[in-house]
Structure 1
Amino acid sequence: MNVEDFDFDLPEELIAQTPLLDRTASRLLVLNKETGQTEDRTFSSIVDEFESGDTLVINDTRVMPARLRGAKKDTGAGIELLLLKQVEGDRWETLAKPAKRVKVGTVVEFGDGLLKATCVSEGDQGGRDFEMSYNGIFHEVLDQLGEMPLPPYIKETLDDRERYQTVYSKNIGSAAAPTAGLHFTDELLDQLKQKGVSIAPITLHVGLGTFRPVSVDTIETHQMHSEFYQMTAETAAILQATRERGGRIIAVGTTSARTLETIASAQAEFKEASGWTDIFIYPGYTFKAVDTLITNFHLPKSTLVMLVSALGGRENILRAYAHAVQENYRFFSFGDAMLIK
């Protein structure tokens, strides 16, 4: 299958630059994956799409202020690091910019030496591993020095860091937000609970795969980077009970979907699980866990468009995206949402 099969035209002005004041005020495009029919709604009305006995699966990862701006110790040249994942101890996988200035042994200082990073390994496409040295607690130092790692297509400054976090974010470790969850509020989640919907948290720390474009012509040869996931015994019990009573499993975002499908592919029943996943979902894949998906609108030719096409059908998705463009929906991280049912 060719990467070009997942391309579409997107006017730049439809890329949302700032989040809406009210998280639930986003528009919602509802796609019926069986008929291909779409309906224009608002996100606050999504409660109407749920039934008692359904389970909503949320990704409770929390985004790190993972962008660090510093300087090389020897020359003072500016270096930017984007922390992607903790490899072991104080060793971190990063994207370095400009990478050509960073070789093994390069020392980068941040905050007048409050944090020092020594390059210990070189990878491809700007990937570098660094050993961090600091006094105190690393994430407290990061809170002081780091910036929210907004995607490069967002040019506006984010005034409130919490608007790039879900209201249920808990476990710190992501280099990007699970953006479909940005539409939920505590009040909306309470409405779902009152309707008899279970809320089941899982964790997937969003990492390198989010920042890597598909650089091959045929998608079958694309290799996803691994990301850490975790599901508790409590969540596993909720999901297993949902299956047994015939309820639907509704995933919030592609990160939740990938986690659920990773776990369901490895075992017949939902059980406590954790590990690393590089699952790549594209058309032809048979979903084993996810019945319905809440997601944002994604970049052309991205692995995320391929995932939603696997669930909703490629032609249905491309027609729905064309409709969204025509109706001036807001795209990407701070944009509007889509329900594939």
Structure 2
Amino acid sequence: MSRITTPFGFGTTAAEAAEGIDLRGRRAVVTGASSGLGAETARALASTGAEVTLAVRDTTAGERVAKEITAATGNRAVHVAPLDLADPASVAAFTASWQGPLHVLVNNAGVMACPEQYTAQGWEWQFATNHLGHFALATGLHAALAADGGARVVAVSSTGHQQSPIVWDDVHFAFRRYDPWLAYGQSKTANVLFAVEASRRWADDGITANALMPGAIYTNLQRHTEGRGSGRVPAELIKTVEQGAATSVVLATSPLLDGVGGRYFVDCAETEVVDRRTGTLHGVARYAVDPDGARRLWDLSHELLARAR
């Protein structure tokens, strides 16, 4: 199976990736779209004529961004809806209120290397926000994604997934000493595994899911890291927000990705599977695309969410 390439690369912007794409009559949801990569992804999708919903915790900030997007693109079908991924009730309310088909779901929101914290259910905060919330969102919207066929789910992961596989016996750090980077890495591995299993399970519905590393970008995501995350990356490899959103837009819109699922992309192209940490922003760990691990995580996620009801 050959790796997928596109005409785009490191320096491509989201606007360039969306140029010439016509998504009029299509509907998209972007999580975490009140700032940073999410806002830029939503802006690019709106420029294609798609109806775009910004799913955000801060609806005031979301409304401000929505107005900016409408002013910039002329697209008035830009909406804002409340969504707190760490709260299963909030996710359930969002999915229950959705009506009609959904063609693109961009699971963009996330937290990085935050201090030790747990949800009311006892879930580690990063795993809960980055993975479980998005898992509940996507599965809750499954019928909408399946309605028209050909829907796409985009999972924003990170090269940080190489920090940790899923530690099955202690996902929520009940016994391990909490390490913010290991917790982040585990949650980002979960994002890739989700894309693998969603593509397998939902193939008959025409739904594909792919994961990506957006690059090293300075956004609000680094608020807990004091710059340490991007500070390890050479200056010439730092992307702008516009460049960082490009891979998400390619996965959401490019005809080259029709029918393609369960893969991991960097700089707008599928990257290689690796068995050791690369020390670069490229490469996807073999454990992150392992189909057995993907099935196991799916079952675990369903079980955790069922207990929360």
Look at both structures and tell me which one has the larger radius of gyration over its CA atoms.
1
Q: TM-score when scaled to structure 2? A: 0.29
Q: TM-score when scaled to structure 1? A: 0.27
Report the structure, 1 or 2, having the larger strand content: 1
Report the structure, 1 or 2, having the larger helix content: 2
Structure with larger RCO (C-alpha < 8 A, sep 6+): 1
